[in-house]
Structure 1
Amino acid sequence: MTIITEFRLQSSDLPLVSIPATLPPDEIMCSHSLCLEPDAQVFLVEIDAALDVSEAQLAELEEVTTVTPFGERNDTTVYKLTVELDDSISPAFDPERFEGAKMKSTTITADGWHETKFFKDYETFHEFHTTFENSGVSLELISITPDETESDNTAEDLLTDRQREALNLAISRGYYESPRQVMADELAEELGISQPALSGLLRRGERQLLTSSLSGREYLNTLSR
């Protein structure tokens, strides 16, 4: 059974806490992350545009290896940051350990991360909790509840993890808006894949959702007679 958890992670070694600790914002939002290799991860972050945090300021942070501006969105400036993870916590951010865990937007302050996350079951969350604690990161659980909408999302469950990741990113970045707010090549860059690969993921994911959603409808049977 899928569960929804809300928790706080606390450690000075957590990625990106150096931004609110040393620069003007009290908090930043992380809307997407992608593991490049065991000790490096890409984060898509949003910073209040009124605070005028510069690309150069972000690039000067010790943990940040590259900075790519992505423009403004809802009064925030969006950056893609490649971060070198501390050796002590890099195992905790290995996505292969927690394939059943899906991140929602995370609030990051100088004290740590405030995060809501979906896990495929309680055992996966327990493993996640234990791994972070063993890496020296304190986890304070705020709430844990079953996903009440799980029975209504059977079509989504048929997606591969990569298809779901691509579709979620496309929706959150406005790819399906009219007019589009982001192009396919930009989404592909965020995911670290080619544009044709991104287009294939979206196309197969869309087909799966449509097929699963429509196949059980009464009127389809009527039309096929």
Structure 2
Amino acid sequence: MTITAEVHLRSSLLPLVSVAELEQANEVQCPHVLGLDQGLQMFVVEIDSNQPLSEEDLLALDEVIEATELGNARGKEVFKLTAVLRESVAEAFEDTPDAGLVDAIRITTEGWYEQKVFKDYPAFKTFQTSCEEQDISVEILSITQDSSPSEESAPYGLTERQYEALSLALSRGYYEQPRQTTARELADELDISQPSLSDLLNRAERQLISATVGPQTRLEVLSQ
């Protein structure tokens, strides 16, 4: 089961937000990122600017230590930049290996807009948790399941639909305190009524409890 999520990452510590803050820059996109050693990262960026940018303009930014102009593409100036990552950002990125970039990162003064693919919902949740632990806010703009598991592959005896509902509820923060979404919003995403969503989650929760701490487990505890 593959998950594709479009997210907005917010943090003043994210690399190259300073580029978007330049007066000359109208739009900044990053189609390629390469991790380097010693807290460095290499970015290829396309900058739509209202006046020409130079390597010196970019090297004047605190985080940029190398800047090479590559030319123009699709009417934008293209640069290869090497930037120093803040320690917290480096840790957040290092903790999320099971994700891949689908499209270019759009960098604005408000952070990064990314579309990423994850191998499953737990991998997405790891990404979200890792970012938020480092004070990088993760706003979910959209999330889709590219292929659903069959009933035979769904764990703990869950049906495909139960697994889908539980996974969506978990990814949206339904089980967090305070809740980050409502049953109504989850129902709308699954295109079902709110009572149907509540019934689906209740059945799924009962199945999980039965499969993990069912009657046999209770009898073993009472017999001790």
Give 1:51 deviation, angstroms. Answer: 2.8
Percent identity, aligned pairs only, is 41
Aligned to 1:152: none
> Which whole-Å CA distance do the structure 2 matches of 1:145 and 1:27 have between them?
27
> Which whole-Å CA distance do the structure 2 matches of 1:55 and 1:78 have between them?
11
Aligned to 2:5: 5
Aligned to 2:71: 71
> Which whole-Å CA distance do the structure 2 matches of 1:68 and 1:129 have between them?
32
Aligned residues of 2:67 and 2:82 also touching (Cα < 8 A): yes
Aligned residues of 2:25 and 2:50 also touching (Cα < 8 A): no
Q: Counterpart of 1:23 in structure 2: which amino acid?
A: E
Q: Counterpart of 2:123 in structure 1: which amino acid?
A: T
Aligned to 2:99: 101
Aligned length: 147
Give 1:119 deviation, angstroms. Answer: 0.8
Give 1:39 deviation, angstroms. Answer: 1.2
Larger radius of gyration: 2
Aligned to 1:127: 126
> Which whole-Å CA distance do the structure 1 matches of 2:38 and 2:98 have between them?
18
> Which whole-Å CA distance do the structure 2 matches of 1:144 and 1:75 have between them?
31
Deviation sequence 1:114-162 (CA, Å, 0-9, x none): 11111111111100000110111111001110125xxxxxxxxxxxxxx
Aligned residues of 1:26 and 1:110 also touching (Cα < 8 A): no
Deviation sequence 1:154-195 (CA, Å, 0-9, x none): xxxxxxxxxxxxxxxxxxxxxxxxxxxxxxxxxxxxxxxxxx
**4+ long deviations beyond 4 Å:** none
Secondary structure of the residue aligned to 2:36 is strand
Give 1:3 deviation, angstroms. Answer: 0.9
Give 1:49 deviation, angstroms. Answer: 5.2
Aligned to 1:160: none
Aligned residues of 1:39 and 1:85 also touching (Cα < 8 A): yes
TM-score of the aligned structures, taking structure 2 as reference length: 0.62
> Which whole-Å CA distance do the structure 2 matches of 1:142 and 1:56 have between them?
35
> Which whole-Å CA distance do the structure 1 matches of 2:99 and 2:5 have between them?
10
**Structure 1: tracts of 5 or more residues without a match:** 149-225
- What RMSD in Å do the two structures reach over aligned CA positions? 1.6
Q: Does 2:57 correspond to 1:57? A: yes
Secondary structure of the residue aligned to 2:58 is helix
Deviation sequence 1:24-73 (CA, Å, 0-9, x none): 21330000101102511001100115531111100110000101111111
Secondary structure of the residue aligned to 2:25 is coil
Secondary structure of the residue aligned to 1:107 is strand
Give 1:93 deviation, angstroms. Answer: 1.9
TM-score of the aligned structures, taking structure 1 as reference length: 0.62
> Which whole-Å CA distance do the structure 2 matches of 1:69 and 1:24 have between them?
16
Give 1:90 deviation, angstroms. Answer: 1.3
